[in-house]
A and B are shown apart, each in its own frame.
Chain A
Amino acid sequence: MKTRKAMTVLKGAAAIWLLGATGALAQTTLEFSQWWEPELPKGSLRAIMDDFEKKNPDIKVTLISGPYATTRDQIAIGAASGTMSDVVGLDGAWVNSLSAQNAIADMNPLMDGSGFDESQVADIIEIDGKAVMFPVASFVYPLFVNLDFAKEAGVSELPSTRAEFLEAAKKMTNADENKYGWALPLSLQSPSSVLNDMMSWVWASGKSMLADGKPALEQPPVVDMLTFIKQLDDAGVISPGIASKTEQEKVEEFVNGRIGMMVDTLAHVNLIRERNPDLNFDVVPMPVTEGYDGKRGLTYASWGIGIAESSEHKEEAWKLVQYMMSEDVNARLVSLANAFPGNVNAKPDFVNSDPVFAKAFEIFQEGYLANEFTGLPEAVDLMREFDVETQKMLEGQQTPEETAAAAQAKWMEKF
């Protein structure tokens, strides 16, 4: 009897071992590092991963989450040491360096192998013919206006051109009461303001900071933008502390009613409402140069997704990428994040329920998405170089033309 029992146990153990050895019980664990989880409602990204795991019982997903800057540094180190997570959240500003290091995989073969319908995705970021990133969610940067502030200052029509913006900002500014028209956060700690608050003026008027893929900073679009920024500074309409101001401080100033207008991501709408429920604000398209009536470029930043070249589970990683880009899941994610979708068929629910988002969606549909830093080499450093030169201009050390020339020279070293 004892022998029979022992044999049964042994047979069971052998069967389990056999299943494990043949892969029937094998489970792949994917690491997915990103900065999105802390920015989404608590537990929501994990819930999406749980649903993915239910649909793919042989795959487990471990989320590695941290703030944006920490994730960027982790990915940079991971790329250097070959220890990047299987699936990574990406910013368009990073992909050139990562691709040059051969750290992110080309997703073309994976798309071909799985019969993926490319027409459903809004964009595919390619470097040297390699598909390295899909934008999962896009955050557009319109102009936010404090309506009560504007009314008090006698601004009846919200600005649509640069001249109107300057006039409105002048009316809103009252330095004695710590009230200013606009904020420009040029802290070198995170120089993304160059993209959001400066180049957005160039792209809004349908212009470019590049020519044939190379910097064209000495051309009129960028020089005019710098001249305009200088004009705003000379008029005293920018809130003080420009060189050390961060994006968070800009938003705080808007929330507290200290600035009347700011260029900011739509992702901050809920944050602004939470911090000041009484704030009466609206979003409008970025003002353009006089006489421009073409389509307006709308600055955006995106949560991108890609696969590590060093991943040993590219097939499984691709399943997760496909899942995140699928219509329903993408709509669910962007609804949570208040972003615009990476899947063209996905319809986020906030567009119908919230007037500010509905307006932003109109702006989004009437214009086109613009972010020329995506895919540029050492994009963050390009922004930092431009930031330093702009600070010199605002300190009175150089003219807008000299600023553009100095930045052009520094940028050309990277190309």
Chain B
Amino acid sequence: MTARGPKANYKLGRQIAPYLYLSPSLIVVGLLMLLPMAMVIAYSFQESAVLRPDTSFAGFRHYRAIFGDEVFWASLWHTLYFTVASVVMHMAIGLAFALMLNSDRISPMLRSVLRVLYILPWLFTQVIIAVIWRLMLDPNGVVNSILVDLGIIGSKVAWFSSVETALHAVTFANIWAGYPLFMVSLLAGLQGIPKDLYEAADIDGATGPQKLVFITIPQLMPIIVSISLLDFIWTMQVFPLIWLTTGGGPIYATEVLSTYTYKLAFSQYNLAQAAASAVTILLISIGLTLFYIRHQKAR
């Protein structure tokens, strides 16, 4: 047996120290994130998970059940439509408003007022947004009234109750709620673009649209990609807005993965299948997150 010398102890201490500093965060992350995740993954492979103490291994039965359910595939499609449309429109509206707020052609006073107005949707919780849009898009609501008065629609439309319009209506509400994130981020980016780039373009005789396409957008691209990826991940998981406006209906017209999973868990009390559905969402989210991390590293 050899005694460890003070030098060896010091070396060991130096090696362990970073982990000791990190340990509080690692413990918190482990307990609050990794453990629940591991438990949900385990439930997805159990028979009668959680509900009965005598559970047994179910293999991939629950995954086969949800992948064989046409409502799951409809939910996946609705989730994709809802997410892609929301992200694209968030970006377009966010960019348009950011350009407007960054423009010297608008008076500083008006810009300040618009800045407050445009950011308002961000201040509301999803529950409030759902209530606002339920009232606005009610068959007797203000939107129908305006559209009928303008002659755009012939009769009142039950936006959230019709199979044809419900998914578009919830997507619209989500677009309204989410564009300020893009607007604020892009506005910060716009203010960081060097003025001399535009001055050089002016000397070269570039038009406004050309400056937008060849200077502004390329300069903003890192922000656009980062925020789009984050927005994609967040929008995919939206639950309260859809639940409180349509409940996933009419029929299954606005069923998305989050409402599908919720119904499995709290309406059917099929927690094992709900876990399998949740793990599927997790895998999609992990895929997107890895893409995001790779993009961040590349930057």
Contact = CB atoms under 8 A, between A and B. Distances in A.
Contact of A187 (B50, B156, B247, B266): B247
Residue among A100, A188, A395 with the most chain B CB within 10 A? A188
A399 to B, nearest CB: 16
B94 to A, nearest CB: 29
Interface string B150-177: 0000001010111100100000000000
Nearest to A101: B51
A178 B139 CA distance: 9
Interface stretch (A19-27, A118-126, A160-168, A380-388): A380-388
B250 to A, nearest CB: 3
B113 to A, nearest CB: 34
B50 A244 contact: no
Nearest to A97: B269
A397 B244 CA distance: 25
Given A188-B246, A188-B248, A244-B250, A384 B161 contact: no
A258 interface: yes
Interface in B258-279: 263, 266-269, 271
A189 B244 contact: yes
A170 interface: no
B251 A381 contact: no
A391 B250 CA distance: 7
Contact of B266 (A73, A240, A241, A387): A73
A189 B243 contact: yes
B246 A381 contact: no
Nearest to B262: A73
A243 B250 contact: yes
Given A241-B139, A243-B161, A258-B140, A392 B251 contact: yes
A81 interface: yes
Interface string B82-124: 0000000000000000000000000000000000000000000
A153 interface: no
Given A76-B266, A101-B51, A241 B158 contact: yes
Nearest to A239: B139
Nearest to A392: B251
Interface in B16-42: none
Contacts of A188: 246-250
B139 A395 contact: no
Interface string A325-342: 000000000000000000
A397 B51 CA distance: 37
B198 interface: no
A373 B53 CA distance: 27
Contact of A378 (B50, B161, B267, B271): B267
B161 to A, nearest CB: 4
Contacts of B246: 187-189, 243-244
B247 A245 contact: no
Interface string B232-261: 000000000001111111111000000000
Contacts of A97: 269
**Which range contains the number of B residues in contact with the other chain?**
20 to 34
Contact of A244 (B156, B245, B252): B245
Interface string A365-401: 0000000000000101100100110011001010000
Given A80-B51, A395-B163, A187 B249 contact: yes
A193 to B, nearest CB: 11
A245 B160 CA distance: 9
A242 interface: yes
Contacts, number: 83
Nearest to B267: A381
A241 B268 contact: no
Contact of B251 (A81, A178, A190, A395): A395
Given A73-B266, A81-B50, A384-B267, A240 B139 contact: yes
A81 B51 CA distance: 8
A243 B158 contact: yes
A90 to B, nearest CB: 15
Contact of B156 (A76, A240, A388, A392): A240
Contact of A241 (B161, B163, B271): B161
Contact of B268 (A81, A186, A242, A378): A378
Q: Which among A72, A97, A381 has the highest number of chain B CB atoms within 10 Å? A: A381
Given A101-B51, A188-B246, A188-B249, A244 B160 contact: yes
Contacts of B163: 395
A25 B174 CA distance: 57
A190 to B, nearest CB: 8
A391 B247 CA distance: 13
Contacts of B160: 241, 243-244
B52 interface: yes
B161 A244 contact: yes
Contacts of B134: 244
B269 A378 contact: yes
B252 A388 contact: yes
Nearest to A380: B267
Contacts of B140: 178, 258
Nearest to B48: A101
Contacts of A79: 51
Nearest to A244: B160
Most buried by B among A79, A187, A242, A378: A187
Query: Most chain-B CB neighbours within 10 Å: which of A80, A81, A240?
Result: A240
Interface in B132-153: 134, 138-140
Contacts of B138: 241
8 contacts: A73-B266, A76-B266, A186-B250, A244-B246, A244-B250, A245-B161, A384-B267, A391-B249
4 closest Cβ pairs, A-B complex: A189-B247, A243-B250, A188-B247, A244-B160
Interface of B: 50-52, 134, 138-140, 156, 158, 160-163, 166, 243-252, 263, 266-269, 271
Interface of A: 72-73, 76, 79-81, 97, 100-101, 178, 186-190, 239-245, 258, 378, 380-381, 384, 387-388, 391-392, 395, 397
Given A188-B248, A241-B138, 7 more contacts: A186-B250, A188-B247, A240-B158, A243-B160, A243-B250, A388-B249, A395-B250
